[in-house]
């Protein structure tokens, strides 16, 4: 069953350009290294918050990705631009 990962985070205004520069490499690393990765959308919210909406083939694919962490340079660079995690949720689509 398709799984949605919703991660809300804050970025220091001085690092927003870093976040956006790192995004394409992060997505390329996900496509190369994360079985079950389907798509991702980054949403800018007010007050320097962002929402990352990531779609996975299954809860297992998402769990396997989470276990890998920032194991590739593009992923690590994207994560490094994040100042604070606000929330993280997982759900399924119907």
Domains and CATH numbers, the chain: 3-92 (3.30.70.100)
Q: Is residue 54 packed enough to be buried (19+ CB in 10 Å), middle (13-18) or exposed (0-12)?
A: buried
Tens of pLDDT along 22-79?
999 999 999 999 999 999 999 999 999 999 999 999 999 999 999 999 999 999 999 9
How far, in Å, CA of 79 to CA of 19, rounded? Answer: 8
Q: Is 11 within 8 Å of 60 (Cβ atoms)? A: no
Inter-CA distances, 45 with 10, 30, 73, Å: 9, 23, 26
Q: How confident is the model at residue 88 (pLDDT cuts 50, 70, 90)?
A: very high
pLDDT at 94 over 90: no
Residue 80: per-residue pLDDT: 98
Q: What is the pLDDT of residue 7?
A: 98
pTM of the predicted protein model: 0.93
């Amino acid at each position: 069953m398709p799984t949605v990962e919703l991660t809300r985070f804050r970025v220091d205004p001085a690092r927003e350009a870093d976040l956006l520069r790192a995004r394409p490499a992060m997505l390329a690393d996900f496509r190369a290294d994360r079985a079950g990765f389907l798509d991702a959308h980054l949403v800018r919210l007010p007050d320097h918050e962002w929402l990352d909406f990531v779609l996975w083939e299954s809860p297992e694919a998402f769990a396997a990705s989470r276990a890998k962490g920032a194991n590739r340079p593009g992923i690590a660079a994207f994560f490094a631009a994040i100042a604070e995690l606000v929330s993280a949720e997982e759900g399924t689509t119907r």
